[in-house]
Amino acid sequence: MTTQNSAARNGQPERFRVAVAQIDPIVGDIDGNAELVRDALEWARAQGVQALVTPEMVLTGYQAQDLILKPGFLDRCDQALAMLQAETAKDGTPALIVGAPERADGVRYNAAYIFDEGARRAVVRKQYLPNNGVFDEMRLFTPAPPQGPVEIGGVRVGLLVCEDAWWEEPAETLLESGAEMLFVINGSPFARFKHDDERIQNMVARVVETDLPLLYVNLAGAQDDQVFDGGSFCLNPGGALAASAAFFDPARMVVDFVQDGAGWRAEEGDKALQPPHAEMEYRAMVEAVRAYWRKNGAQTALLGLSGGIDSALTAAVAADALGPENLRCVMLPSQFTSDESLEDAADVAARLGVQLDEIKISAPVAAAEAALAPLFAGAAPDVTEENIQSRMRGLLLMALSNKTGALLLSTGNKSEVAVGYATLYGDMCGAYNPLKDLYKTRVFAVCRWRNAHHRPWMNAPSGAVIPERVIDKPPSAELRADQKDEDSLPPYDVLDAILEGMIELDRTTEQLIEDGYEKETVERVAWLLRSSEYKRFQSAPGPKLSPRAFWLERRYPLTNRFKG
């Protein structure tokens, strides 16, 4: 590979041209992921670049979790790395930076390999291993000692692996060792506000501290509960944005660095606009469903459409992700289902263009109650009978899922999941739950955004696909006469504020009471949150949308008497 240093000696500005591949890998598909990298390398060769940068752990997919512990898995990675290394021997091929695990000295590292001219030039290992939130890297890898820059195309590049860029010391060490610019490879999942409040701010801090340009490369796509929102970008000294790639989509970008005597700077390039937060939340849910189905070999989905806002939003997400022709909705009315709900479910299905079937549950519920009557003798009706209805719906939907192969979507929002306002083995049945990390108050906001906007990545029709009547009517489970959610729960604006304080901010009941919330309400919400842990333990996975989602980011014991 040749460099541009001769141009600098002739008095022209020295240039360093770098390609970025924002890739969507599949965890465990090592050969397929290697092919994605190889294809990007072919493209980069045609761009006349000196280097191609790919994201963190792109070869294995991220996060590979305990697959990293399997020697056979790592053997396959080594084979794929050898293939990619050989690819760089072809004439005109740029240096390749590829994220993958490394075995050395009897331990494992989260690493970045640098291949050039058919040789392995260097391996940079991750120093700071995140062990919080969705990350558990201390279980899998060994933290590396400080490392210096790597020469690529005659330029001393300081390479950082994700978390290393969130701390001052690694970048400072690279600067002191002679780095001329910083490259950061990332597997950074989406959360609301994360890009501007955390990523950009931290990377600007590294740029200001070092006075070096910084190139940030992120994964795209989704893996189980984590959505990788792309948004790769380049910052110039001082922190100004020079270029940025699309959010959520796989993307490719070329960045031209120029040295004019004052150091390296990136030339201005295309800058993708960051979508508003409601759009990013909706897009994250769509991409999570789309990826979960595609990467697991499924095509069709199924859900119970009740006429309420949660199932309507779930249907819109699924139709946009998979196409209306691949979504089947079922209305399962009982004696307590209102005519309005029947009409609203039909209206939602018609607006989305999805199939709607109806299965009346009154007869099977009556049969279950009759079978139980001898054992229930003398006991007054209570929530048990309500839950029989919900579980009958779950039974019928799961039977339809088994028969047709369509994966079932559950529809509970984060507020309900938090306080257990859902029936285990009933409306909690499902392979995936798009709304699992979306508070009820956010459900309303996201519905209104979807009604007002349509994007090329949506497969369902444009327009108000969720009727205003569905958004405006008081939420109800309709499991007894004249039932409303607020009969059992505080108003959702109050409930969500208390839950956010407890879940995302770790505020105590005492602190929330001091904030002005009623003591009885706070203590009841705290009890509901604590006593519903066993339900969440058995709930369907869903995409991370908030700073702290249930499952990996909030792990509490099922048996727990701590009340703070």
Is residue 447 classed as helix, strand or coil in its secondary structure? helix
Q: Which two tokens stand for residue 285?
A: 């849910």
Q: Which two tokens stand for residue 2?
A: 């040749």
Is residue 461 classed as helix, strand or coil in its secondary structure? coil
Which amino acid does the sequence have at 72?
G
Point out the residues that are catalytic. 56, 126, 162
With tokens 């018609």, the residue in question is 350
Distance CA 259, CA 264 (A): 4
Distance CA 434, CA 529 (A): 20
- Other beta carbons within 10 Å of 3: 16
Q: Which of 355, 303, 299 lies closest to 322, judged by CA? A: 299
Give the dihedral sign, CA 555/186/504/444: negative
Does residue 19 contact residue 49 with C-beta atoms inside 8 Å? Answer: yes
Collect all residues with Cβ–Cβ distance below 8 Å to 16 and sequence separation of at least 6.
4, 50, 51, 153, 154, 155, 181, 256, 257, 258, 259, 264
Does residue 50 contact residue 153 with C-beta atoms inside 8 Å? Answer: yes
